[in-house]
């Protein structure tokens, strides 16, 4: 049977100090943390699903108990039954209230019949809802369980073969940069990638890839250790060319076609490779005509050195395939110590390059890499002072640099793998450039290093030039994400943002990821300008909302909700209402001061509440930090604030319930106290749920689960709502305040 695999050499140079260590942002430790984060996220969703089901079950149980009590009340005294449901009827369906009121007065038997049917229907609906909740929960838990198992399988793969897994994972994450731009249908070679790391029946680890071009059926292949394998499906020349582009960008090259390779694959591969080389030679010739190659080796073309912006220094673009990146961080007042550090930046960058080339790539100076510095002036109007150019070659040869670009028929033969250039930018930072042979696309490896050099200088932003190719733009966008650096001068839509966040999730800590997402939102907002509508604006709002308001949800889950549950378990209506209102007030304070500091939030409190809160903090031995960001407010602060506000609101709630009951009794001697309690608790439930809805709608933070508030009681003064009666059917008054809402 013909072979359907193309071989390639190891991802790394075997001469590297640690050849098994894939030079990538995605090292084993970073990948392990990313997978652990995925497991935590899934477990959080499982816990939320379980909590949601329990809350729904408790709510249905409460409704069932209410139905049972109303059924008992109907059998004892239809008038009291009607009184128990009248408040809700008046509020929600006045016509039905009037109809039943008339029926009760004129046809008691029919009233009881219809009320019984109504209660039976409600009971059936409760049972049905409970069954549906159980079914939905089972499906959700099954799906989340499958996701958890899938991540666990990935963790197992990483544990078994960490070096190979990290290589495959790096390609998988970096390949998210590839996308089809539908606005450019004339451009060939565009493709999108979806992939998953799998293990074959023989235990071989591989990256299964689906490549979808602009048109036609997708191409399937698997990247394994040292080989590319194709399924038994036809491959077009266009697909093979796209495949070669993909492999080149992600550092897979030096191919070998085994003698047993299927002829069709061999033919397509050789044609695609020849076409790529022809196109590259053509581009190299065009570049050489613009800027002689001998000059490209040592310097950028004079018309391609772009001045940096006063406020935001930028990457300078060279159409001759050399791009210059420099520090685009915000300028801050410099201290003397900062200036001294920046003087060391250039030397630090050179040391970093030497270490990377020698230890990570296994390169040897003046054999497989060459360092050239130009400290003179080539022309009166082009200063080259300070440029250091690193030219890197695939193999050892002391004549590599001399032979590179040797002309044949007037066309230079470019033999280098890549170049990286560094120079001081005159503002305390560095400029970093790169060049790829024959106008080729930048690889993940080079993009990662270019960005890493700027990040090592302490830069959080990099400005890219106009004219950067679409292919290089996508690669640099993802390289910035992996490093936690924000690109400027590159478009970022909501689709890009999602991919960048996915990439950053694999390399950054949770804290750094939070900051990266927020900075990304600010940059997208700046890019948008006056355009505040559309999906991009929604993504910005989502990221900013997550940054500022996810901490509130965390504090609700770990502090406020347990405190509310304690009040619910106590079954005292004033305390339940007080706890609910305290949470709503805290949310209102947080919302107003979300982007400010704790001191600003406390200043928004009522003076008496503020004093009580600060006194309680002092009594507990807690020193408040007024300059702490509100989003970082710890549980201890929130707990003390809740205690003060819930006590205040509980007292007010008791007064409101008693006042309302007294008011109703003035006009209706038969008014029931439990109606007052039920309505006020129902209002609190609605208000709390509205708060959760607002958190999601206004601030894009979903999942705030409000617990069922139960059936709390309140002892009203002079309340005779439940006078016991001796009746033929042994009437027993319902437990005081037993009704739910």
pLDDT in tens, 37-60: 999 999 989 998 998 898 888 888
Q: Which residues pair with 5 in a beta bridge?
A: 229
Query: Of the candidates 520, 579, 518, which has an alpha carbon nearest to the alpha carbon of residue 549?
Result: 518
Does residue 228 share a domain with residue 198?
A: yes
Does residue 465 share a domain with residue 328?
A: yes
Higher-confidence residue of 448 and 25: namely 448
DSSP 369-389: EEEEEE-SEEETTEE-TTEEE
pLDDT in tens, 316-339: 333 334 444 544 444 334 444 444
Question: Does residue 373 sit within a domain?
Answer: yes
Question: Does residue 56 sit within a domain?
Answer: yes
Owning domain of residue 149 = 28-164
% of the chain residues with pLDDT over 90: 48
Distance (Å, rounded) from C-alpha 577 to C-alpha 560? 14
Does residue 342 share a domain with residue 303?
A: yes
Predicted confidence at residue 182, as pLDDT, reads 65
- Domain final position from 269, 290, 311: 290
Does residue 583 share a domain with residue 671?
A: yes
CB atoms within 10 A of CB 18: 12
Question: Does residue 707 sit within a domain?
Answer: no
Does residue 135 share a domain with residue 103?
A: yes
Higher-confidence residue of 576 and 708: namely 576
Distance (Å, rounded) from C-alpha 295 to C-alpha 382? 12
Higher-confidence residue of 501 and 326: namely 501
Question: Does residue 524 sit within a domain?
Answer: no
Predicted confidence at residue 298, as pLDDT, reads 65
Q: Answer yes or no: is pLDDT of 719 > 50.
A: yes
Q: Which residues pair with 700 in a beta bridge?
A: none
| Average predicted confidence (pLDDT) for the chain | 83
pLDDT in tens, 283-301: 888 888 777 787 677 654 3
Does residue 654 share a domain with residue 625?
A: yes
In the chain, count H helices and then E strands.
22, 18
Does residue 146 share a domain with residue 99?
A: yes
- Domain final position from 461, 483, 505: 483
Query: Of the candidates 197, 266, 261, 249, which has an alpha carbon nearest to the alpha carbon of residue 225?
Result: 197
Q: Is the dihedral of CA 14, 15, 20, 23 positive or negative?
A: negative
Least confident of 12-16, 302-306, 534-538, 619-623: 302-306
438: left (phi over 0), alpha (psi -120 to 50) or beta: left
Does residue 664 share a domain with residue 583?
A: yes
Instruction: Supply the angle between the helices 573-593 and 635-667 in degrees, to the nearest 10.
Output: 130
Which residues have C-beta within 8 Å of that of residue 630, sequence separation ≥ 6?
590, 593, 594, 595, 596, 597, 598, 600, 601
Question: Does residue 242 sit within a domain?
Answer: yes
Query: Of the candidates 411, 423, 478, which has an alpha carbon nearest to the alpha carbon of residue 451?
Result: 478
Confidence of residue 578 (pLDDT cuts 50, 70, 90): very high
Does residue 32 share a domain with residue 15?
A: no
CB atoms within 10 A of CB 8: 17
Predicted confidence at residue 741, as pLDDT, reads 33
Predicted confidence at residue 26, as pLDDT, reads 72
> What are the Cα distances from residue 545, in Å, to 191, 522, 551, 695, 701?
33, 12, 10, 9, 7
What is the mean pLDDT of the segment spanning 159-183? 84
Q: How many folded domains does the chain comprise?
A: 4
Does residue 130 share a domain with residue 83?
A: yes
Q: Which residues pair with 382 in a beta bridge?
A: 379
Predicted confidence at residue 686, as pLDDT, reads 92
Higher-confidence residue of 546 and 411: namely 546
Least confident of 100-114, 214-228, 456-470: 456-470
Does residue 344 share a domain with residue 271?
A: no
Least confident of 188-197, 426-435, 580-589: 426-435
CB atoms within 10 A of CB 125: 13
Distance (Å, rounded) from C-alpha 668 to C-alpha 36? 63
Please list the helix, strand and coil fractions of the chain in percent, rounded to the nearest 5, in that order.
55, 10, 30
pTM for the whole structure: 0.76
Q: Answer yes or no: is pLDDT of 505 > 80.
A: yes
Q: Answer yes or no: is pLDDT of 596 > 80.
A: yes
- Give the strand pairing for 486-488 and 461-463: parallel
HEC string of 484-500 equals CCEEECCCCCHHHHHHH
Question: Does residue 222 sit within a domain?
Answer: yes
Which value, to the nearest 10 degrees, does the dihedral of the CA atoms of residues 282, 284, 289, 294 take? -150
What is the mean pLDDT of the segment spanning 567-572? 94
% of the chain residues with pLDDT over 70: 85
- Give the strand pairing for 5-8 and 255-256: antiparallel
Q: Answer yes or no: is pLDDT of 222 > 90.
A: yes
Least confident of 84-88, 125-129, 493-497: 84-88
DSSP 566-597: HHHHHTBHHHHHHHHHHHHHHHHHHHHHTTSB
Does residue 311 share a domain with residue 452?
A: yes
- Domain final position from 290, 319, 335: 290
Question: Does residue 221 sit within a domain?
Answer: yes
Predicted confidence at residue 556, as pLDDT, reads 96
The top-scoring range by mean pLDDT among 195-204, 237-246, 436-445, 557-566 is 557-566
Question: Does residue 117 sit within a domain?
Answer: yes
């Amino acid at each position: 049977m013909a072979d359907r695999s193309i071989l390639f050499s190891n991802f790394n140079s075997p001469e590297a100090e640690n050849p098994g260590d894939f030079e990538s942002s995605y090292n084993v430790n970073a990948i392990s943390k990313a997978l652990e984060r995925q497991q935590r996220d899934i477990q959080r969703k499982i816990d939320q699903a379980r909590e949601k089901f329990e809350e729904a079950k408790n709510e249905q149980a409460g409704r069932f108990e209410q139905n049972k009590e109303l059924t008992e009340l109907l059998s004892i005294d239809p008038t009291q039954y009607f009184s128990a449901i009248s408040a809700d009827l008046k509020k929600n369906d006045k016509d039905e209230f009037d109809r039943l009121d008339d029926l009760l007065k004129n046809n008691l038997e029919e009233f009881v019949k219809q009320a019984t049917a109504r209660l039976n229907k409600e009971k059936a609906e409760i049972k049905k809802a409970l069954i549906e909740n159980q079914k939905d929960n089972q499906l959700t838990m099954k799906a989340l369980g499958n996701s958890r198992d899938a991540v666990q399988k990935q963790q197992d793969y990483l544990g078994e073969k960490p070096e190979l897994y990290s290589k495959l994972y790096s390609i998988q994450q970096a390949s998210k940069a590839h996308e089809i731009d539908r606005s450019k249908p004339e451009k060939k070679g565009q493709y999108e990638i979806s992939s998953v790391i799998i293990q074959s029946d023989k235990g071989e680890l591989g990256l299964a890839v689906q490549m979808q071009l602009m048109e036609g059926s997708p191409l399937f292949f698997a990247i394994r250790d040292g080989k590319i394998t194709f399924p038994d499906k036809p491959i077009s020349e266009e697909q093979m060319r796209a495949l070669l582009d993909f492999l080149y960008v992600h550092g897979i090259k030096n191919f070998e076609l085994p003698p047993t390779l299927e002829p069709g694959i061999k033919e397509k591969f050789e044609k695609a490779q020849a076409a790529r080389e022809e196109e590259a030679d053509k581009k190299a010739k065009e570049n050489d005509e613009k800027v002689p190659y001998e000059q490209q080796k040592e310097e950028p073309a004079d018309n391609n050195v772009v001045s940096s912006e006063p406020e935001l220094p930028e990457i300078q673009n060279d159409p001759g395939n050399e791009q210059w990146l420099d520090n685009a961080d915000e300028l801050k007042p410099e201290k003397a110590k900062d200036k001294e550090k920046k003087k060391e930046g250039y030397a630090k960058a050179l040391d970093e390059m030497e270490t990377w080339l020698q230890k990570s790539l296994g390169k040897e100076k003046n054999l497989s890499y060459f360092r050239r510095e130009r400290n003179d002036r080539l022309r009166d109007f082009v200063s080259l002072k300070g440029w250091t150019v690193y030219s890197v070659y695939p193999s050892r040869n002391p004549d590599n640099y001399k032979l590179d670009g040797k002309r044949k028929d007037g066309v230079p033969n470019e033999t280098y793998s890549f170049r990286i250039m560094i120079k001081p930018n005159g503002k305390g930072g560095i400029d970093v450039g790169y060049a790829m042979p024959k106008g080729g696309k930048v690889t993940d490896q080079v993009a990662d290093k270019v960005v890493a050099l700027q990040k090592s200088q302490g830069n959080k932003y990099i400005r890219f030039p106009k004219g950067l190719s679409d292919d290089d733009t996508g690669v640099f966008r993802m390289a910035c994400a992996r490093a936690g650096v924000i690109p400027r001068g590159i478009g970022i839509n909501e689709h890009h943002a999602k991919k960048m966040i996915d990439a950053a999730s694999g390399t950054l800590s949770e804290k750094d990821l939070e900051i990266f997402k927020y900075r990304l939102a600010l940059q997208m907002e700046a890019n948008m300008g006056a355009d505040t509508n559309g999906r991009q604006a929604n993504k910005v709002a989502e990221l900013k909302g997550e940054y500022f308001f996810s901490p509130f949800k965390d504090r609700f889950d770990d502090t406020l909700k347990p405190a509310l549950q304690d009040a619910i378990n106590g079954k005292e209506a004033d305390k339940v209402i007080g706890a609910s209102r305290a949470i709503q007030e805290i949310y209102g304070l947080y919302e107003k001061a979300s982007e400010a500091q704790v001191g600003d939030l406390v200043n928004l409190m009522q003076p008496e509440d503020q004093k009580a809160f600060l006194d309680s903090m002092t009594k507990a031995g807690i020193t408040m930090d007024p300059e702490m960001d509100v989003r970082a407010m710890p549980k201890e602060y929130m707990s003390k604030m809740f205690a003060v506000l819930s006590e205040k609101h509980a007292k007010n709630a008791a007064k409101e319930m008693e006042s309302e009951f007294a008011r109703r009794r003035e006009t209706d001697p038969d008014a029931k106290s439990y109606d007052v309690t039920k309505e006020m608790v129902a209002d609190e439930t609605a208000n709390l749920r509205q708060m959760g809805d607002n958190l999601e709608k206004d601030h894009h933070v979903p999942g705030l689960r409000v617990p069922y508030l139960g059936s709390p009681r309140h002892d009203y003064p002079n309340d005779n709502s439940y006078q016991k009666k001796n009746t033929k059917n042994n009437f027993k008054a319902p437990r005081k305040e037993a009704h739910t809402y």
